[in-house]
Structure 1
Amino acid sequence: MVALIKAAQLLLSLSILVVLHEFGHYWAARAFKTRVEKFYLFMNPGFSLFKKQIGETEWGIGWLPLGGYVKISGMIDESMDTEQLQQPPQPWEFRSKPAWQRLIIMLGGIIVNLILGFAIYSMVLLVWGETVLPAERIPYGLEVDERLKPLGFEDGDQVVSINGETPASFTEIRRSLFFDPVSEVELTRNGERVQLVFEEDLGQFLVDSSIRRPFGLRVPALVETISPGSGAEAGGLMPGDRIVTLDGAAVGFHGDVLEYLRAHPATDIEVGVIRGAYARLQLTCRTDSSGALGFLQKDPMTMPEFQLEERTYGPGEALVSGFALAWTTLEEYVLSMRFLFSRSGASQVGSLVTFGSIFDAGWNWEIFWRNTAFFSLILAFMNLLPIPALDGGHVVFLLYEMVVGRPAPDKFLEWAQTVGIVLLLGLMALALGNDIWRVITGQFG
C-alpha cells in the first residue's frame, strides 16, 4: 500500500509538471502562429488511451508514463517525422519562423518550470510556513562520516562558524559544509574551541571521495518501528526502546549502533535496552547478512530535546523567501551534479523509483508540493542541458544559427536527434538498473 501511495503521488506530481511544461511550448508556438499538431501527456507508441481533435491540435493521453510532448509542425523532434521536411516550408511551420521566435518556443517549457518552482515554494511557505532547527539547539552535535575524521572532525562536534560566518540553522551548516568553498571551520568539542583549516576545498574533497552524506544529526538510538520478520522482531525489540548496550559495550547514539551492527553480519547480538521509564532488558537479536537488525530510527525532529523553530510568512515574505528557496535549491542541485563525475558517479543515477521514494508514506500535501517544486526545477535544468532530443539541444542549434547566420543542415539535425535519443535511453537504462539493484539490496528500506 505504501508503494502505491508513493507511486500515485509521483504520477500526479510529474503529470502536473509535464502538462504545464508542454503548455509552455504550446503557448509560445501559438503566440507566433505556429501550428501544434499534437499535445500529449505520456508517450503513445502504437496507440493512445484517449485522443480528441480540437482545431488543428490532437489532444491525447498516451499509455507509457514517460513524460509527454507537443508535436510542432516543421520541426525535427523525437518523432523523427522527416516527410514533412521534404515539402516546401509553410508559413505556419516552425522552420519558417525567425530564429529568435523558435528560440522562445524551445525555451517556453523551461521558463514555465522555473516560474512554477518559485510559485509552488512561495505557496508552501505561505500555507505551511517552515520548520527549522537552529544551530544553537543541536543537543548532541554532528554525526560525521568516518572518511572525514582524518581531517579533524569527530562525532559530537558543534559548529561555531564556517569561513568566519555563523550558521543560523542545521540546514545552513549542512549546506555550507557541502556546497560552499570551505577553508576554515570553528568547532566546540567537549567544551573547548577547535579550529580546522583545510588546504583544499572541503566540498571538492567530498566529491573526490564520493561522500554524499558527510554530516548528520547525532541522535540517541530510539526505535521507531520494527520490520516484520526481522531479527529485531524475533528478538523482542519494540517501538520506543532505547538501545544502550551491544554485547555488553555501551553505545550512546544511533551511529554507534549502526557501526557495530554492520561489523557483525549474520550474528546473534546481545542488545541492552531501556523500555519505558525504568525497565532495563537484555534481548538477543540476530543481524542479517548486511548487518541490519530491521528497525527504523526515531526521527530526531520528533524528539523533545531538538527544539524546533516554527516560522510563518505573510504574502510578501513568502514571495521573497520562495524565490530564495527556489534559487538555493536549484543551485544545490546543479552543484551536486559534480558527483556524477566522481568515482562512484554512475551508481548515483536514479530512475522514477528513486524519485518516488522521497514522497511521504501517507499523503502529506506539504511534502507533495515541496517535492513537486523540486522536480519542477530539476525538469527545467535537465531540459536545458545541451543534449540533442532535449530542449537544450535545440537551443544550442538555434544559437549556432543566430551567430553563424544559417541553420545546421537537416541531415545533421536528424543524426544529432538520433544520438540524443540513444544517450537518453542509455541513461534511463542505467538509472533503472541502479534502482533495481537498490531494491534487491534493500536500500529503499
Structure 2
Amino acid sequence: RLLIMVGGVLNNFLLAIFIYAGMVWYWGEQYLPFTSATEGITYSETAHKAGFQDNDIPLMADGDAVRYFDSDQLKIAMAKEVKVLRGKKDTVTISIPDQFVLQVNSDLENGEPFMSCNVPTIVKATMPGTGAEKAGFQEGDKLVAVNGVATPSFTQFTEQLKKNSGKTIPVQLIRGEKTVTTQAEVDGDGKLGFEVLADVSKLFKTEQHSYSFFQSVPRGIEMGCSQLVSYVKAFKTVFSKEGAKNLGGFGSIGHIFPDEWDWYSFWSITAFLSVILAFMNILPIPALDGGHVLFLLYEMITRRKPSEKFMEWAQTAGMVFLIALLLFANANDIYRFFIK
C-alpha cells in the first residue's frame, strides 16, 4: 500500500530526471562564467542595498564555490554569506539579509533580475522603414553612445533611447576599426527598430559540456536532486508574510514560459514542474499522497487504522485547505498582473 501511495510522487521525480538526462544528452550544457562577463555585471537595487556593487564577481556562497550565471544565481540569492572579488584583487564578504531571496523573486516578476551580464549593443538586423535603417546601421555595428552619453550595455542603451523618444539624435557606433557617428530617429516608444545580437556564445567565452548517453543519466539524477533541494529551501519562505505574497497560480505558471516557442525552455520548465509536483504531493496534507502516507505510517506504528469518521473529516479539511490555497494563489496572480 505504501509503494502504491508514493508511486505518483516517485513517477513525477523520475520523469524530471529522465527529462534532464535527455536534455544534457541532446543539447549538452552551456555555461557563462562570471569571469567571462567582459562588459561587466550589473546588480539590482535590492542587491545594492544588500551590499553588492556593480562588477562584483561572486566567488563563494556559504563556503561553496560559484562560477556560472545560469546555475549559481539562485544559490547566491539564498546564501547567508557571499564572497566576491571587488576590483582586481580585493575580496569582500557580504552578509545577506533575511528575506533577500523573496525580494529577488519579487523583482524578477517585475522584469528586474538580481544580477545580469552586461551585453553590448550589437546590431544583428534592421527593420524596414525604421530609424535604424534610415541611419544606415549595418550588421555587426556596436552602438556605444546615445546623444553623447556612453552606453556600454544594452540596458543603458535602451534607457537613453527612452529618454529621447520622438527625437532625432546622434548615435555613436564602432564599425570594424572605425568609430562613426550618425543621426538616428527614435520613435515614440523609444526604439530605433533593429534586432540586437543576443547569442551569448557569440558575445562571450562560454564553456560547453557534452555528455554521452551513459554520462547523461548520472547528470540527470544530479540535476533532479539539486533542483529538489533548491525548491525545498525556497519553500521555507512561503510561511513568511513576504513569501505568501509571492505565491502564484496558473498565471504565474504560464508567465515562466517564453514568448516564443523553444523546445529547450519547454523541457526545462516541464522537468522543473515535475519536481514541484513530486515535492508538493508528498507533503503531509490530507487529500494528497503525503497525507495518505502519514495515516498509513500511523497505522503501521499503532497497528490500528484511523476511524472512518476521522478519515472523512481529515479528507474534507485537506480539500478545503487545498482549494483555499488555490484561490489565494490565483488571487495573487490577478492582483499582480491586473491591479498592482
What is the TM-score when the length of structure 2 is the normalising length?
0.77
Offset, 1:225: 10
SS at match of 1:408: coil
Question: Are 2:34 and 1:132 equivalent residues in the alignment?
Answer: no
Aligned partner of 1:196 among 93, 96, 107: 93
Aligned to 1:280: 182
Aligned AA (1:413): M
Percent of aligned positions with the same letter in both sequences? 30
Deviations 1:287-327 (A, max 9, x none): 6xxxx979999575446332222211012211111111111
Aligned to 1:230: none
SS at match of 2:116: strand
Aligned AA (1:421): M
Aligned to 1:211: 104
**Distance in 2 of aligned mates of 1:115 and 1:327:** 10
Conservation of the 8 A alpha-carbon contact between 1:236 and 1:283: yes
Aligned AA (1:280): T
**Distance in 2 of aligned mates of 1:149 and 1:347:** 23
Conservation of the 8 A alpha-carbon contact between 2:132 and 2:192: no
SS at match of 2:6: helix
Offset, 1:273: 4.2
Task: List gaps (5 residues or longer) in structure 2.
Answer: 106-112
SS at match of 2:119: coil
Question: Are 2:316 and 1:418 equivalent residues in the alignment?
Answer: yes
Offset, 1:187: 0.8
**Distance in 1 of aligned mates of 2:12 and 2:194:** 36
Tell me how large the CA RMSD over aligned residues is: 3.9
Aligned AA (1:196): T
Aligned to 2:74: 175
Conservation of the 8 A alpha-carbon contact between 2:170 and 2:181: no
Offset, 1:126: 1.3
Aligned AA (2:212): G
Conservation of the 8 A alpha-carbon contact between 1:246 and 1:270: no
Q: 1:311 to 1:279 in 2, by over 3 A?
A: same
Deviations 1:12-63 (A, max 9, x none): xxxxxxxxxxxxxxxxxxxxxxxxxxxxxxxxxxxxxxxxxxxxxxxxxxxx
**Distance in 1 of aligned mates of 2:334 and 2:327:** 10
Aligned partner of 1:357 among 249, 255, 259: 255
Aligned to 1:149: 48
Aligned to 1:318: 216
Offset, 1:151: 3.9
Question: Are 2:120 and 1:220 equivalent residues in the alignment?
Answer: yes
Aligned to 1:8: none
Aligned AA (2:36): R
SS at match of 1:427: helix
**Distance in 2 of aligned mates of 1:390 and 1:294:** 53
Decide which moves more: 410-419 or 313-322.
Answer: 410-419
Aligned to 1:60: none
Conservation of the 8 A alpha-carbon contact between 1:220 and 1:253: yes
Q: 1:169 to 1:409 in 2, by over 3 A?
A: same
Offset, 1:272: 5.8
Aligned AA (1:333): Y
Question: Are 2:304 and 1:406 equivalent residues in the alignment?
Answer: yes
Q: 1:235 to 1:419 in 2, by over 3 A?
A: farther
Aligned AA (1:126): W
SS at match of 1:281: strand
Q: 1:362 to 1:286 in 2, by over 3 A?
A: closer
Offset, 1:354: 2.5
Q: 1:224 to 1:143 in 2, by over 3 A?
A: farther
Deviations 1:332-385 (A, max 9, x none): 112222342344323322223322333344443333222222121111011011
Aligned to 1:9: none
Q: Where in structure 2 are the equivalents of 1:44-443 lying within 5 Å?
A: 101=1, 103-162=2-61, 165-182=64-81, 184-189=82-87, 191-198=88-95, 202=96, 204-207=98-101, 210-212=103-105, 213-220=113-120, 236=131, 249-256=149-156, 273-274=171-172, 277=175, 278-286=180-188, 300-302=198-200, 304-440=202-338
Q: 1:153 to 1:335 in 2, by over 3 A?
A: same
**Distance in 2 of aligned mates of 1:107 and 1:250:** 58
Q: 1:223 to 1:403 in 2, by over 3 A?
A: farther
Q: 1:342 to 1:284 in 2, by over 3 A?
A: farther
**Distance in 2 of aligned mates of 1:403 and 1:188:** 57
Task: List gaps (5 residues or longer) in structure 1.
Answer: 1-100, 227-232
User: How many residue pairs were aligned?
Assistant: 324
SS at match of 2:203: coil
Q: 1:245 to 1:235 in 2, by over 3 A?
A: farther
Conservation of the 8 A alpha-carbon contact between 1:143 and 1:216: yes
- Select the structure of larger CA radius of gyration: 1
Conservation of the 8 A alpha-carbon contact between 2:20 and 2:271: yes
What is the TM-score when the length of structure 1 is the normalising length?
0.61
Conservation of the 8 A alpha-carbon contact between 2:59 and 2:84: yes
